[in-house]
């Protein structure tokens, strides 16, 4: 069983991925992490990725993404089930992704889309603050009452990451709408899409996903 999980930031897809990986013994493939890993290696490919990401500050081209994904897939036994996290994110990526997966002799069984509204995303992420000193993530309403308090662990100052301000979140959601929704439509046409409502408890979302995976086990 090979799965893809997609969803906007704050949808809780990381938690669901972790739970699914544990339950079905899935290997997690997170392209972002893997690219960073390869970029650290002193190989032609590693140096090329490093150049794009750290020197040019540019997106890694699809040709390289496909090569990296091919290497990753070849490192698993054919029987190993996989969950792909947050990839493909654009139609351009979907093209190389579908090719690399089929060239490895696999197929994608289901694409899980954890859907939450823009308002809910902003609400969830705006609650996230961090301690400037120890970098601990502090959830407003749970770990702290107000951002004016100091860190409960180290008394450091509490700040919001630039990435977590409502304007930046909305900007990222727009990118998701424009770039990733077409990918979701692409898999819907292939009848691989499973949509779950992410605005429920973690357990309910998980139950919803499991119910939809029943027919492929
Ligand atoms: Zn702290």
How are beta strands 137-139 and 128-131 bridged, if at all? antiparallel
pLDDT of 192 reads 96
How many A from CA of 149 to the centre of ligand 1? 11
> Cα(16)–Cα(195) distance, rounded to whole angstroms?
13
Work out the pLDDT band at 28, boundaries 50, 70, 90: very high
Check: CATH 3.40.190.10 for 3-116+174-216? Answer: no
Work out the pLDDT band at 86, boundaries 50, 70, 90: confident
Q: What share of the chain is helix, strand, coil (3-state, %, to 5)?
A: 50, 15, 30
Q: What's the whole-number average pLDDT of the chain?
A: 92
- Is pLDDT of 210 > 80? yes
Torsion over CA: 204, 205, 211, 217 (sign): negative
The pLDDT of 100-113, averaged and rounded, is 94
Cβ partners under 8 Å of residue 22, min gap 6: none
Tens digits of residue pLDDT in 118-135: 999 998 888 889 999 999
How many A from CA of 169 to the centre of ligand 1? 24
CB 132 within 8 A of CB 156: yes
pLDDT of 184 reads 97
Predicted structure pTM score: 0.85
Q: Which residues surround ligand 1, an ion (CB under 5 A)?
A: 131, 133-134, 151, 153-154, 156
The domain segmentation of the chain, as residue ranges, is 3-116+174-216
How many A from CA of 158 to the centre of ligand 1? 8
Share of the chain above pLDDT 90, in %: 73
Q: What residue ranges in the chain does DSSP mark as E strands?
A: 3-6, 27-30, 82-85, 110-115, 128-131, 137-139, 158-159, 193-197
pLDDT of 217 reads 57
pLDDT of 83 reads 97
- Is pLDDT of 9 > 90? no
pLDDT of 131 reads 95
How many A from CA of 77 to the centre of ligand 1? 43
> Cα(1)–Cα(110) distance, rounded to whole angstroms?
8
């Amino acid at each position: 069983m090979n799965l893809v999980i997609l969803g906007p930031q704050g949808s809780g897809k990381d938690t669901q991925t972790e739970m699914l990986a544990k339950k079905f013994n899935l290997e997690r493939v997170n392209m972002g992490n893997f690219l960073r890993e390869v970029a650290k290696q002193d190989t032609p490919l590693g140096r090329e990725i490093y150049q794009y990401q750290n020197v040019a500050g540019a997106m890694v081209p699809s040709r390289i993404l496909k090569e990296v994904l091919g290497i990753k897939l070849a490192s698993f036994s054919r029987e190993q089930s996989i969950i792909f996290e947050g990839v493909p994110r654009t139609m351009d990526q979907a093209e190389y992704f579908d090719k690399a997966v089929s060239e490895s002799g696999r197929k994608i069984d289901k694409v899980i889309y954890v859907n939450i509204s823009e308002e809910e995303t902003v609400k969830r992420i705006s609650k996230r603050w961090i301690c400037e000193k120890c970098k601990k993530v502090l959830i407003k309403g749970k770990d702290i009452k107000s951002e004016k308090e100091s860190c409960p662990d180290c008394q450091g100052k509490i700040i919001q990451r630039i990435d977590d301000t409502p304007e930046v979140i909305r900007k990222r959601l727009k990118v998701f709408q424009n770039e990733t929704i077409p990918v979701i439509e692409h898999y819907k046409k292939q009848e691989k899409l499973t949509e779950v409502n992410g605005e429920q408890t973690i357990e309910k979302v998980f139950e919803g996903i499991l119910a939809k995976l029943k027919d492929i086990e």
